[in-house]
Amino acid sequence: MSWKTVLVVLVALVIGFGVLARIATRGGEPAPVPAEDPTRITAPG
């Protein structure tokens, strides 16, 4: 594999894990929660 292929795979994995982590921490909420929400700021994680 060329270094470009490795780079693309790594970026795809990072994005994929980031999306999965967001879904897990948000409990699967479809709508994004605004940062001003005090319950989200004080919530762990």
pLDDT in tens, 2-41: 999 999 999 999 998 888 887 777 665 555 555 565 555 5
Task: Report the 10 Å Cβ neighbour count for 24.
Answer: 10
Q: What is the per-residue pLDDT for 3?
A: 92
42 token code pair: 């004080």
Which pLDDT score is estimated for 24?
Answer: 72
Tell me what pLDDT residue 31 has.
58
**Residue 26, burial from CB neighbour count under 10 angstroms (0-12, 13-18, 19+):** middle
Please report, for the chain, the start and end positions of each structural domain, with discontinuous segments joined by +.
3-42
User: Within 10 Å of residue 40's Cβ, how many Cβ atoms?
Assistant: 13
Reference 32, options 18, 22, 43; nearest CA is: 22
